[in-house]
Amino acid sequence: MGRNYFGTDGIRGRTNAGVMTAATAMKVGQAAGTRFLRGSHKHRVVIGKDTRLSGYMLENALVAGFTSVGMDVVLTGPLPTPAIAMLTRELRADVGVMISASHNPYEDNGIKLFGPDGFKLSDADELAIEAMLSEDLPLAPAAQIGRARRIEDARGRYIHAVKAALPHDVRLDGLKIVVDCANGAAYQVAPSAIWELGAEVVAVGVAPNGTNINDKCGSTHLDLIKETVVASGADIGIALDGDADRLIVVDEKGQTVDGDQIMALIGSQLAARGELRGGGIVATVMSNLGLERFLAGQGLDLIRAKVGDRYVLEAMKAGGYNVGGEQSGHMILLDHATTGDGTIAALQVLAALVKNGKRASELLHLFDPVPQLLKNVRFSEGKPLDDQRVQAVIAEAEAQLAGRGRLVIRPSGTEPVIRVMAEGDDAGEVEAVVDAICTAVKEAASA
């Protein structure tokens, strides 16, 4: 069956429009609860959220859904997505829920689901839940309706886990670090964890008001952290997104260090210590050709998965890899977490900074990326990529780049957008190829 609700990262959309309503959230709670009512024990779900205004509405609707089918609910309040994955496993819950639309603006929200092992749900589980959303599900008898409670130690549990991911022989004393939490889920825990490890912390994006999440701050809007790093004379900047599963670094000069460079650093550092499993790392089709060439020079492989951290994780588990991620900043380090964790990834970068004794600008730019250009084309309806004229332009571009670069074209899994990316050693050729395809897609979408 097709997917009407779940995309590449749970369910996501504009709140009070389309699928992202309180009614849908309650039904998701009932369906996911029913799916994970297994065995005779008292069942439990952990629910966390980021700082969006709509989080209150969706949280209450999910509580109603889960309790109505007999599940007890544990509420954490605002916490990063990886914290909910961790707590689901630690508290022996049957399912975990994160209410977040990640890096999207506050008007959007989403529902991410985790199984009892702390990993995101499989395709089979998502499809089963999707099918149940159109069914009348059996409700619990009155005496078996679930209870809901808030726990007070969730933040402390996560901070402890984050700190444990830093090598025991490393402290951050003497480092001045700017931490941008995007006015999102990590606004309390990330600065606290890094400060407790000895650093001087300059925290920005830590005043959420329900509508300012990802607003001109965080990993997708870097002007604030770049300016703050340079103005404060900081050693490095750590930029997270709204649910803190994504990391972008800024060096002391205000230069961006993207996910590809972060993966190159973490992968090569682990390889040098004999701790990199699988003989390489897992990235996506969007990662730069420069990363692939750098790893090859280290005798390491780059395995490419489809875009989306769930597909990266699938490839990691299948091949026995412990490092994977995306150019956009999702970093999955299976030695420490079951899903992307921006703060834990940041600590690996900071540990390398301490151990090597170099400036961030000297350590974090390990390869020169080949020219790469990504453009998005928004459309209202239809399937522009099926148009014969678009396919002809794409075929011509592939022939032009053959042997000298790569072309990746894909529809977004969360919004009506076609993403067009090309890379190669000739920047002019790359730009011409991308523009030609984008023009063709726009014309097909408006026809």
Count of CB atoms within 10 A of residue 16's CB? 12
| Phi, psi at 51, each rounded to 5° | -105, 15
**How far apart, in Å, are the Cα atoms of 111 and each of 34, 316, 358?**
17, 24, 41
Active site residue 68: no
Sequence letter at residue 293: R
Distance, in Å, from the CA atom of 181 to the CA atom of 214, rounded to the nearest integer, reads 9
User: What is the spatial distance between Cα 224 and Cα 272, in angstroms, rounded to a whole number?
Assistant: 35
Contact criterion met (CB below 8 Å) for 213 and 185: no
Q: Using CA atoms, how far apart are residues 315 and 281, in angstroms rounded to an integer?
A: 10
User: Catalytic one among 102, 192, 268, 328?
Assistant: 102
Tabulate helix, strand, coil % of the chain (nearest 5): 40, 20, 40
In terms of residues, how long is the chain?
447
The one-letter code for the residue type at 3 is: R
Instruction: Give the H/E segment covering residue 5.
Output: none
DSSP E strands in 323-416: the ranges are 323-325, 331-333, 372-378, 405-411
Question: DSSP alpha helices (H): ranges in 133-256?
Answer: 154-164, 189-196, 223-232
Residue 327 CA: distances (Å) to CA of 110, 256, 258, 331, 353: 22, 12, 6, 9, 20
Indicate the Cα dihedral angle 49, 51, 52, 56, nearest 10°: 60
The helix (H) or strand (E) run that includes residue 268 is: helix 259-272
Apex CA 119: angle with CA 246 and CA 241, to 5°? 15
Residues carrying an active site annotation: 102
